[in-house]
């Protein structure tokens, strides 16, 4: 797993689970110039399977062989993220697996992978030294009402009825609030909103 | 044919690009009388076109634009949370929701173009794990959505008739795919192929939303 981001000023940072030897090699060989993942994801905001990237050049093939030799794996999925104000992040998971096993893994976990990628990115934005506090979006009145009703123990159907909206729309408010609060699940979002004093019972 | 193009890829298709921006001027400025900027060349472009969005475009055999829409993630700078914020109770922001704006049809586009575009956008959503699109639409679109059996959930609106502008959430699933395919006589495998040809089959994160 690796997460790499570029802030609004162009400064780069990364965290990951790659072997230090590989990180070292990547830097020494200046692989960022030939890495098809970097080149392919720079101008997109959709997830990219590594098989779909252009590995045709000799430099790219050499890079791939070196990466596999360092335990990066033959499969990978990279999720580019365009944050606010030119911020940019790239989240990658990689593994050694055959095509079928990999496809099954992605199909099963796509939702979680997309969410994890964005949570990483939100944390990165929060950790920016010169971050303007307002970059965290405030909760909307509807989101606050939804969280309050969840906190007092209403179920989704009851909340939808109370707010006179469909459960479908309710789900959007919950998801949006969850994302803004950086919460792992709905319970976490409610707890988070309570501790921050955003909702009061 | 259906094309999926990022903004930076448009220059490879100058005719398609230019007819798209002039059809947008025709629809939004002349017909709907929205407060949009049209350049001297007659193109309707705004700052979101400069953000390298993903366009879903229906192209005629001669390379002309027949219809299109513009997609952007809601976690970055996007239109609904800024320009249409007054229609929402708060910003909608989620990695699982993209925004769809500037849904446009050329004046003489075949009747099924709107449905083709909806189908193509649905394939993008399924393929990239996007669960919903938040869309901005006019009165005519409400009818088109209804006709294709996939009405958006309206989150807010203003005006009536010609002046109507709505914001709603639109989702796509196997049921919606079947309904649209059947209505316009496209095999479900065919619409999947549009995606696979452009983004590659290996890039498909899921089969059905």
| A109 and A149 within one domain | no
Residues A82 and A153 in one domain: no
Top-tier CATH class for B2-203: alpha beta
Question: Do A172 and A96 have their domain in common?
Answer: no
Contacts of residue A142 in chain B, CB cutoff 8 Å?
89-90
Q: Which residues contact B203 (CB under 8 A, 6 or more apart)?
A: A46, A47, A48, A49, A52, B127
Q: Do residues B37 and B44 lie in contact, with contact meaning Cβ atoms separated by under 8 Å?
A: yes
Cβ atoms of B40 and B3 closer than 8 Å:
no
Helices (H), chain A: 20-28, 36-41, 58-69, 99-127, 141-151, 156-163, 167-181, 186-195
Chain B residues 18-47 with CB within 8 Å of chain A:
none
Q: Could you tell me the sign of the dihedral formed by the alpha carbons of A47, B136, A166, A181, in that order? A: positive
Residue B75 touches chain A, beta carbons under 8 Å:
yes
Q: Which residue has the tokens 């452009």?
A: B198
Structural domain including A9 reads 2-127
Read off the tokens for A188: 């976490």
The long-range contacts involving A11-20, CB below 8 angstroms and separated by at least 24 positions, are A13/A124, A16/A92, A18/A70, A18/A71, A18/A72, A19/A70, A19/A71
Residue A132: inside a domain: no
Q: What is the pLDDT, as a whole number, of residue A70? A: 92
CB contact under 8 A, B94 and A45: no
Which among A127, A146, A170 is the end of a domain?
A127
- A55 domain residue, yes or no: yes
A123 and A142 fall within a common domain: no
Closest by Cβ to B155, choosing from A111, A115, A169: A169
CB-based contact B203 A179, cutoff 8 Å: no
pLDDT digits (tens, 9 = 90+) for A80-132: 998 777 778 899 999 999 999 999 999 899 899 999 999 888 888 777 766 55
The model carries a pTM of 0.82
* ipTM of the modeled complex: 0.86
* Domain boundary assignment for chain B: 2-203
Place of tokens 């502008």: B165
The structural domain count of chain A equals 2
List the single best residue of B56, B76, B84, B100 to mutate versus A (max A Cβ within 10 A).
B76
Q: What's CA A80's distance to the chain center, in Å? A: 8
CATH number at residue A177: 1.10.10.10
Q: Is residue A166 part of a domain?
A: yes
Q: What is the pLDDT of residues A163-189, one digit of tens each?
A: 888 888 888 888 888 888 888 788 889
Q: Which of A114, A143, A168 sits opposite B95 (nearest CB)?
A: A114
Place of tokens 């025709």: B26
Residue A73 and residue A22 in one domain = yes
Main-chain phi, psi angles of A136, to 5 degrees: -75, 120
Q: Are residues A54 and A87 in the same domain?
A: yes
For strands B97-105 and B132-138, give the pairing: parallel
């Amino acid at each position: 797993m690796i997460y790499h981001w570029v802030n609004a000023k162009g400064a780069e940072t990364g965290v990951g689970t790659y072997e230090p030897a590989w990180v070292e090699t990547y830097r020494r060989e200046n692989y960022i110039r030939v890495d098809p993942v970097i080149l392919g994801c720079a101008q997109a905001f959709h997830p990219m399977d590594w098989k779909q990237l252009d590995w045709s050049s000799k430099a790219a093939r050499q890079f791939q062989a070196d990466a596999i030799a360092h335990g990066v794996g033959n499969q990978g999925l990279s999720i580019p993220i365009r944050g606010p104000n030119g911020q940019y992040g790239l989240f990658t998971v990689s593994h050694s697996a055959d095509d079928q096993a990999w496809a099954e893994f992605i199909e099963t976990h796509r939702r979680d992978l997309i969410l994890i990628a964005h949570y990483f990115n939100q944390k990165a934005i929060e950790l920016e030294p010169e971050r303007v506090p307002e970059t965290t979006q405030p909760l909307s009145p509807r989101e606050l009402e939804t969280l309050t009703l969840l906190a007092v123990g209403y179920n989704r159907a009851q909340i939808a009825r109370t707010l006179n909206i469909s459960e479908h729309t309710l789900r959007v408010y919950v998801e949006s609030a969850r994302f803004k609060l950086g919460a792992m699940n709905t319970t976490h979002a409610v707890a988070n909103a309570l501790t921050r004093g955003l909702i009061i019972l | 044919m259906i094309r999926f193009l990022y903004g930076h890829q448009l220059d490879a298709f100058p005719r398609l690009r230019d007819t798209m921006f002039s059809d947008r001027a025709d629809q939004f400025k002349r017909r709907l009388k929205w407060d949009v900027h049209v350049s001297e060349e007659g193109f309707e472009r705004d700052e979101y076109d400069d953000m390298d969005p993903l366009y879903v475009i229906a192209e005629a055999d001669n390379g002309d634009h027949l219809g299109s829409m513009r997609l952007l993630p809601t976690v970055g700078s996007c239109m609904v949370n800024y320009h249409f914020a007054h229609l929402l109770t708060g910003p909608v922001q989620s990695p699982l929701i993209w925004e769809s704006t500037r849904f446009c049809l050329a004046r003489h586009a075949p009747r099924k173009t709107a449905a083709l575009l909806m189908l193509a956008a649905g394939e993008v959503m399924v393929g990239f794990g996007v669960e919903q699109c938040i869309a901005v639409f006019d009165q005519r679109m409400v009818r088109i959505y209804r006709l294709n059996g996939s009405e958006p959930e309206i989150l807010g609106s203003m005006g009536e008739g010609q002046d109507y502008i709505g914001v709603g959430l639109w989702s796509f699933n196997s049921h919606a795919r079947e309904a649209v395919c059947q209505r316009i006589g496209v095999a479900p495998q065919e619409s999947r192929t549009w995606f696979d040809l452009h983004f590659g089959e290996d890039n498909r994160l899921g089969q059905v939303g």
